[in-house]
């Protein structure tokens, strides 16, 4: 593994030899979506949200079909803030990422649960009208969330006034 800096971003990547001229070996870095996703999750766990956004955005561009990249990018875009305190443009970006995740993998409860918490937190708790799918509809799809994913949401989001967040908290507690 070698570490390279691309556009101000440091990634640990595997280098692949593509040829040599004389005694010099030229290497072409191959950054996979999985490596970017793994690095993005590491940055999330360190609460380095800005850097996680950069890495996970690159992951979604590298392979937009991997739903988890969109889900983790949505978490990074929240940046540890309560949805009701986030600006409309960021909420729209978060919703877009979660919609893409759901479209790619409609069976994953974690996407629905996070989206329900975000929608309820931003729209309902700020007195705005929700568009379909509503937070209640999303919540019903996300109720069978696995423990590890529920705790992951709880680790990056603390919104005790949000009933969907409280549901997760009461059922799964905090992971610390």
| Cα three-residue angle 121-125-127, rounded to 5 degrees | 130
Residue 172 structure tokens? 């799964």
> What is the pTM (predicted TM-score) of this model?
0.82
The rounded distance, in Å, linking the Cα atoms of 138 and 136 is: 5
Cβ-based neighbour number of residue 172 at 10 Å = 18
Q: Across the strands, what pairs with 16?
A: 28
* Residuewise pLDDT in 10s, the chain (176 residues): 444 433 444 444 343 333 344 454 433 356 799 999 999 999 999 999 999 999 999 999 999 999 999 999 999 999 999 999 999 999 999 999 999 999 999 899 999 999 999 999 999 999 999 999 999 999 999 999 999 999 999 999 999 999 999 999 999 986 44
**Complete DSSP assignment for 7-54:** TTEEEEEEEEEEEEETTEEEEEEE--HHHHHHHHHHHHHTT-HHHHHH
The rounded distance, in Å, linking the Cα atoms of 97 and 109 is: 15
Contact criterion met (CB below 8 Å) for 164 and 120: yes
Looking up tokens 């009461």 gives 170
């Amino acid at each position: 593994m070698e570490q390279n800096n691309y556009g101000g971003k440091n990634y640990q990547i595997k280098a692949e030899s593509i040829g040599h001229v004389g005694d010099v070996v030229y290497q072409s870095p191959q950054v996979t979506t999985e490596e970017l996703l793994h690095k993005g999750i590491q940055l999330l766990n360190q609460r380095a949200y800005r850097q996680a956004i950069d890495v996970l955005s690159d992951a979604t561009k590298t392979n937009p079909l991997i739903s988890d990249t969109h889900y983790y990018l949505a978490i990074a875009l929240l940046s540890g803030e309560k949805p009701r305190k986030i600006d409309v443009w960021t909420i729209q970006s978060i919703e877009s990422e979660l919609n893409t995740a759901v479209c790619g993998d409609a069976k994953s409860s974690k996407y629905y649960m996070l989206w329900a918490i975000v929608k309820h937190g931003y729209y309902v708790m700020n007195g705005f009208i929700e568009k379909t799918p509503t937070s209640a509809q999303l919540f019903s799809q996300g109720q069978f969330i696995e423990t590890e994913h529920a705790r992951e949401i709880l680790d990056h989001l603390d919104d005790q006034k949000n009933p969907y967040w409280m549901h997760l908290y009461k059922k799964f507690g905090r992971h610390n």
